[in-house]
Structure 1
Amino acid sequence: MRTILPYLVLMIMAIGQTDTSTTTRTYSFQNHSGLNTETIDYIQLVFKKGAAIKGKYYGNDDNIHFVADIKFKNSSQEEELSFTLYNYKFCNEKSSPFKKIECSKIENSPIDEINKPRFWGDITKDQLKLKRVFHYYQSRFDNMNFTLIKEE
């Protein structure tokens, strides 16, 4: 009986604990804007048990800089993503997850429900291989390969 009691206590403690560990991964994508300047977009995703559960998109293109939340589609799985952006906040300087900058919502946003992009693609070990499409693209899309730059 003495050897069974510690075993039972250990089993009860193990059953009561849940794995709440999360991992945050930051990815970057270098692109050339229409003004021939190089800009960097970032995606920061929070993973739990291997699946992305939330994220932010930091967009920089020409003179438009923003931060938006990521809304996952129900079909997103551990190896693939499908999402849109919402809750846009626009910034006066380049947005980045590594620098605190002032961003705010604006009236008459240039990105509305119709003009917002949709993303889908694959998660590999060190990359997000995404395709981006806008409603006016007429079945064409942008390939965007984001590279993992930080994991914590």
Structure 2
Amino acid sequence: MTTTAPVKPLPPAQKRIAEHLVQGLSNNEIATKEHLSLDTVSSHIRGMRQSLHCPPRASRPVLVHTLLLHRQVTTPQFPPQRPTFQPSEVEQLLLKAIAEHSAPADIARAAKIAPSDVKARTQDLVRAAGVIDSTRLMSLGHALGFLGVFDC
């Protein structure tokens, strides 16, 4: 049986970057807000993936899910006037698959859908949730309690 080293709190600089990630900001937007170079932002994100035991190429939704899961940052608040998002069982399966997998084929397998349907079904789920992308979908999924424990 293999065990993973415990996740340690992120250093302050990485935590600041992580807070922007869960808000859905791009690397360019983070660099501008924090007055950093793009290389520095990318370096912090690589460091986060390593600290959180995520694969080096883990998708942004996987990274955001892991940050929130390990309580490295606070779950973002969403306006109370937003439409109620109640994903069906099938949508919850896709939500969890996006949170846990980076490759479309792996998402398809976990969500029990055809690989050719991953992109369209993800876009439908993002629209239904009223968010702009799958990264913000992870934040909303945590805010509403739809995402739980997983192994990165």
TM bucket (normalised to shorter chain) is under 0.3
**RCO higher in structure (CA 8 A, sep ≥6):** 2
Give the structure-1-normalised TM-score.
0.26
In terms of fraction of residues, the more strand-rich structure is 1
In terms of fraction of residues, the more helix-rich structure is 2
